[in-house]
Amino acid sequence: MPNRPIDERRRAERERAILAALHQIHVDIDSLVRLLYPVQQPKDPVGSHQPPAEKDAEPEPKIAIRTVTEFGDAYSEQHKSDQKGTRDFERRYIRVQWFLFGAAFLAFGAAAYYAQVARQQKDTMDKTYGEIGKQTRATEVLAQAANETLASGQKSFKMEMRPYLSLFNGSLSKPLAPDSNPAVQLIFVNNGKTPAVSETVSLGVVKRENEIRDDEPDPPPLKYRSRSVVGPGTNFGVPQQANFTLSSEDINSLNHGALKLFAYGVVTYGDLFGDTHHVWFCVRYFLEMPPMQGPQLANCQNYNRVD
């Protein structure tokens, strides 16, 4: 403790003062005893002739009781001085403690204030980031919508400007005859606004009792190629002969519907945008189909479609 040397010095001073006072008390008590009980001296015949004046002139012991009160007063003053010093020290100590308390209070107050400011700044930053995130998401949505609109516009433009090949007409190249191979002539036309390029044709001629299905396998592609470019409004023909012959019974069955003759396949072509397209076609032989007169080829119930 920082006050321990001061307390020890004061205690040593008090002890020395007490010892000095005790020594003085001892001396005063001894003087008082000698005053109250004087030492009996034997009568001296010589001294009997001493004049009375000389006897009265002999010194007497002084009364020293006041020393005791002086010691008490000194001790009381010392005690008061010690108490005053202690009170002064306590007051200074309390002032220092109050000062430290005030400083600590102010420090905690400042820390709380800056913590509140930091919290407010954090809340503001969170709100700002939230708004930025909302704006970013809104911008992303707008960008996505713009991309979708652009893609939709591009798709619409391509759909409007692309070539469209379709089967324009189909007919028999020659009348059906026994022991002959049936042959067909198919005419395709480009109904689009831009040329069709690199078209290939897969075409088959078959006889069968049932209809051609939508999931019918495509026939093998022909080695024949019409042309490399088919302009808008331009048509081209594709002839094909069957790899089988018809008998009289087959022709009779075809005319009565018991047997069916089909020409079907797919045309694959490209456009100027780099996309590839397909048109699936199928025609069937009919002896007569009003209002047309005579044998002809008409569209099948299934298989005809475009992509």
The overall average pLDDT reported for the chain is 82
Cα–Cα distance for residue pair 194/122, rounded to 1 Å: 61
**183 falls within a domain:** yes
For residue 136, the model assigns a pLDDT of 85
For residue 46, the model assigns a pLDDT of 47
**144 falls within a domain:** no
**127 falls within a domain:** no
Least confident piece of the model among 9-13, 103-107, 146-150, 220-224: 220-224
The predicted-structure confidence for 61-76, as pLDDT tens digits, reads as follows 444 455 555 556 666 7
For residue 26, the model assigns a pLDDT of 77
As a residue count, the chain comes to 307
Residue 206 belongs to a domain with what CATH number?
A: 2.60.40.10
For residue 249, the model assigns a pLDDT of 95
The predicted-structure confidence for 142-194, as pLDDT tens digits, reads as follows 888 889 988 888 889 988 999 999 999 999 988 999 999 999 999 999 999 99
For residue 126, the model assigns a pLDDT of 85
Percent of the chain whose pLDDT exceeds 90 = 34
- How many domains would you assign to the chain? 2
Least confident piece of the model among 217-226, 245-254, 294-303: 217-226
The burial of 284, by beta-carbon neighbours within 10 Å (0-12 exposed, 13-18 middle, 19 or more buried), is given as buried
**158 falls within a domain:** no
**293 pLDDT higher than 80:** no
The predicted-structure confidence for 196-245, as pLDDT tens digits, reads as follows 998 889 999 999 999 999 999 989 888 665 567 899 999 988 999 999 99
Residues 97 and 189 in one domain: no
DSSP for the chain, please give it: -TTHHHHHHHHHHHHHHHHHHHHHHHHHHHHHHHHHSPPPPPP-HHHHTS-HHHHHTS--PPP-THHHHHHHHHHHHHHHHHHHHHHHHHHHHHHHHHHHHHHHHHHHHHHHHHHHHHHHHHHHHHHHHHHHHHHHHHHHHHHHHHHHHHHHHHHHHHHHHS--EEEEEEEESS---TTB--EEEEEEEE-SSS-EEEEEEEEEEEEESSPPPTTPPPPPBPS----SEE-TT-EEEEEEE-SS-B-HHHHHHHHHTSSEEEEEEEEEEE-TTS-EEEEEEEEEEES-BTTB-SSEEEE-SSS-EE-
For residue 296, the model assigns a pLDDT of 84
The predicted-structure confidence for 19-52, as pLDDT tens digits, reads as follows 888 888 878 787 777 766 654 445 555 444 455 5
**70 falls within a domain:** yes
**121 falls within a domain:** no
| Domain end point (choices 63, 79, 106) | 106
The predicted-structure confidence for 251-282, as pLDDT tens digits, reads as follows 999 988 899 999 999 999 999 999 999 999 99
Please state the rounded mean pLDDT for residues 286-295. Answer: 68
**1 pLDDT higher than 60:** no
Residue-number span of the structural domain to which 263 is assigned:
165-306
**126 falls within a domain:** no
The pTM is what? 0.54
| Domain end point (choices 62, 79, 106) | 106
